[in-house]
Amino acid sequence: MNVTYFGHSCFQLTINGKTILFDPFITPNDLAKDIDVSQIKPDYILVSHGHFDHINDVEQIAKQSNAKVVASWEVIEYFKKKGLENVHPMNTGGTWEFDFGIVKCVTAVHSSGLPDGTDGGSPMGFVISFMEDDVNKNVYFAGDTALTYDMKLIEETYDHIDFAILPVGDNLTMGIDDAVKAATFVNADTVIPMHYDTFGLIEIDHEYLKDAFNDFELQMFNIGEEKTLN
């Protein structure tokens, strides 16, 4: 699996030849000013919830790529009004088999108001299961969430998570200590932190983060960096 980081909570995964972009928030992000949004052309855009720092560039990227947008029913209705037609509404608890793997929408404890004031429905995380070289792999993209015991259900269902992409910035989501518990709850191998340092409310101590995730393989990305993770 190839992983590219575009800042904040925006990752692009390449799985089975398909590119899946999560929560694009690039053009307003000063830290991501070197990223050329016009060159991002994924096959899918998965949107965890309706907050501006997760959806800002969905419309542009979807229109330039014709990517299929996967999100809650309410977030999809918002984007249909902006002219997006290649959409797939889901909701918490639901599973769907796409051509790159199986997506399950899992609990996120957060809010989901859209920029126009309408309700974005339930915020969600996503678990993606796929086969790579005849081995089953599970990726958990937590979205914005608090620590919740529901994460133990992910471990019950999937046994382990190969790659857990977790918010660590505190204040608006869980912070580092709770994210370590989340990684334990889902039985993660590799942890990829997100939702930190973008603005003052979510700045973190990087040394503290590295110490806290000592028991996991921690993969941190510079913005614009691409890695192959196995």
Q: Which of these ranges, 27-35, 74-82, 136-144, 177-185, lies near Ni ion under the rule CB under 5 A? A: 136-144
Q: How far apart are CB 214 and Mn ion at their closest, in Å? A: 26
Task: Measure the CA dihedral 224/11/4/184, to 10°.
Answer: 120
The sign of the dihedral angle between the CA atoms of 88, 140, 29, 34 is: negative
Long-range interactions of 205-209: CB distance < 8 A, separation 24+: 208/176, 209/168, 209/176
Region binding Ni ion by CB under 5 A among candidate stretches 129-137, 142-150, 183-191, 219-227: 142-150
Give 52 or 208: the residue with its C-beta nearer to Mn ion: 52
Q: Binding of Mn ion at residue 57 (CB under 5 A)?
A: no
Under rule CB under 5 A, residue 144 binds Mn ion = yes
Which is closer to Ni ion, CB of 8 or CB of 137? Answer: 8
Of residues 43 and 53, the one with the C-beta less far from Mn ion: 53
User: What DSSP string describes 144-196?
Assistant: S----TTHHHHHHHHS-EEEEEEE-B-SSS-BHHHHHHHHHHTTEEEEEEES-
Find the shortest distance in angstroms from Cβ 17 to Mn ion. Answer: 30
Nearer to Ni ion, 49 or 137 (CB): 49
Rounded to 5°, the CA angle 101-107-109 comes to 140
Q: Which stretch binds Mn ion (CB under 5 A): 12-20, 115-123, 136-144, 205-213?
A: 136-144
Which residue, chain included where needed, has tokens 């769907």? 96
Give the CA radius of gyration of the chain. 16
User: How many CB atoms neighbour CB 129 within 10 A?
Assistant: 18
Task: Please state the closest distance from residue 206 (CB atom) to Ni ion, in A.
Answer: 22
As a residue count, the chain comes to 230
Q: Tokens for 93?
A: 């608890």
Q: How far is the CB of 110 from Ni ion (least distance, A)?
A: 6
Cα–Cα distance, 25 to 16 (Å, whole number): 25
How many residues bind Mn ion (CB under 5 A)? The answer is 3
Establish if 53 lies at the interface with Mn ion (CB under 5 A): yes
Q: How many residues bind Ni ion (CB under 5 A)?
A: 2
Considering the complex, what minimum distance in angstroms separates the CB of residue 102 from Ni ion?
A: 25
Q: 36-55: which residues touch Ni ion (CB under 5 A)?
A: 51
Question: Interface with Ni ion includes 144 (CB under 5 A)?
Answer: yes
Which residues in this chain contact Ni ion in the complex, by CB under 5 A? Answer: 51, 144
Which residues in this chain contact Mn ion in the complex, by CB under 5 A? Answer: 51, 53, 144
